[in-house]
Structure formats: structure tokens, C-alpha cells
Amino acid sequence: MPLRLAANKWNIFQAFIEGNALETLANLESFVRSAETASFSAAARRLALTPAAVSRNVAMLERNLSVRLFHRSTRKLTLTDAGERFLLAIRGNLEGLQQAISGMATDGDEPAGVLKVSMGLNFGADYILPLLPAFRARYPNVRPDWQFTTRQVDLIAEGYDAAIGGGIEWGPGVVSRTLAPLHLIAVASPEYLRDRTPPTDPAGLAAYDGIAWRSSRTGRIRERIMRNAAGVEIPVKLAETIVLDDPEATCRAALLGLGVTLIAVCHALPYLERGSLVRLVPQWYSDGGPISIYYASRTLLPAKTRAFVDFVAEAFRHGRLAERFAGSLG
């Protein structure tokens, strides 16, 4: 029987108001993540639940809707026609529904309390700290307690409300909201390049003095892949003339004219705009994953955390930082 999406969406919203909102939200999120991954087990890992719990949530949603959403077998999980239509209707609205539930749960509560957030020193000072006056003016009862560190913190064990970083893999129970891409580009100072012929492609970077970055977490120097807008990829391994363990330090070393380095656009941007660094092979970049804001749970976030997450995301959209941090010029 065809699924009447508009009616069912209203019925689900009524269930939020009149029934068990948290239970309905958990069922919806279990359905969406299972559809995205085609697996109850994979969805369970993303949601920090057991596969049995995810399966049970989906089954309850099917009972409430009186519609089968998945074809199940021992090897495969696929959407029914009704499931595909329901996913199309609900997927883009899930974040809004989550926010609505959070708002209802804290009805009348103003964001307040200590807001403990971790972020990198230079990224935080350049892009997050300037937001603080406006954030404090809007939410005067929130007291920021911000930690500036390159160390990957344990959000839950260390009691952080949120963290901001790029290229990070978090464990179960942590979710993220993408802010901008973490694209790395090749840079050097004008003084270093004065008597040198610029390379024509990323492979040519190996011929220059290299300022390599060693991960303080893994102890390894990572070989990067650079790509252009056409999708062509070329491996890059800089000469290890100098090895440092902090990305901002590599940027400062490049400013001193010590060689070529790969650095995130967000770190290099102020120097590129002032002309104190020059971008090499400008059509090429390395994708380091997204810069995201991380928090422990989407369901019933404290009002202070939700306010901060939304405020930062809106500031990045307004400032078009995702576009500014993109390394592709194609």
C-alpha cells in the first residue's frame, strides 16, 4: 500500500508532542543510519548501540507506520519502495527534528553553564575566538572554558562539551557536524623561491628543501596524495630536510625561507593574503578530510552545546569559510 508521506510525517511529529519523543527519535535515526549503511551492524557502530537495538528500533518504527521499510535477509538489507520514499522524505529533516526534540526537552531553558571545548591553538585563535564577543552577547549565561591543544581529547571521559578539529576519527558515541574541508596545499616563502624555478606538478616538489610534518600521535611522516579538479592524483613525499611535529610550526618554518611544506589552507590563508607565503602547483591539493565540530550525542544536547554548535556552523556559512578553505581552483 502506498505510503502517504505528508500524513505520516505529521503523525510522527504528533508522536513527538503527545508520546515518547525520545523513543520515536531513536527509531527514526536507527532507520536513517541503517538505510545509509545497508546494515544494522554498521548503523549500530555509528550510533553506539547494539545491532539488536537498532533492529528493534526499526521494527518498532515499521509497526507504528504499519509499513515494511526494509527487505531483510541473512546477507542483505535493502529498502522497500515505501522505505525509499520515507527515507527521501525524512532524511533531510532529521537534524531539524532532533533540534526540535532538544528544544522541547529544555523548554524555557536558556543556554547556561560552563562550556568546555577543545580546539587547536592557531585555528581556534584565528577562526573561533573572534566569534566569542557575539556569542557571549547572545548567550551571557554561558561561560566558555576553552582548551587550545593539538592533542585529540576524549570527549566523554574528559567531560568536554565539544571539540573542533580536522582529519580526526572518533570512536562510538561521538557525532560530528562538518564545517569546512581540510585541504592541504604546497607553500614556500617568496625569498626561498626567488632564484628557483617553480615546479610544474606535485612530483617536482621532492626536488626542493622539504619541511616535513611528523604526526605527534603516530610518530610517522605521512606521504600525501595531491589531486586536481579533474581528479588526477599524484603521490607527494617532501624531502625531509627539516622534520617538525606541529603543523603551525611547519608553516612558520616556511615563512623563515627554510623550504617547501604542505599546510592546511586555513593555516596558510592569512600568510597567502599578505604575500608572505606563495602557493606552489596552485591547481593541486591534498584532501585531509573535513574540519568538523564534534559532540557526544545529537539527542537531548544541553542547550549550551546546541547553541554553540549552531552558532559556529552559522558563522562558517556566513563567512563562506568552506569555500575559502577549499584547495581546488578548478
Give the pLDDT of the chain (330 residues) as one tens digit per residue. Answer: 444 544 454 455 454 444 455 567 778 888 988 998 899 988 887 776 788 888 998 998 898 888 899 998 877 899 999 999 888 888 777 766 666 655 554 444 689 899 999 999 889 999 999 999 999 999 999 999 999 987 778 776 778 899 998 877 666 667 889 999 999 999 999 999 999 999 999 999 999 999 998 877 777 887 899 999 888 999 998 999 999 988 889 999 999 999 999 999 999 999 999 999 999 999 999 998 899 999 886 556 788 999 999 999 999 999 999 999 998 764
Taken as a whole, the chain contains a residue count of: 330
For 109-166, write each residue's pLDDT tens digit: 689 899 999 999 889 999 999 999 999 999 999 999 999 987 778 776 778 899 998 8
For 264-291, write each residue's pLDDT tens digit: 999 999 999 999 999 999 999 999 889 9
pTM of the model: 0.65
CA distance 118 to 239: 33
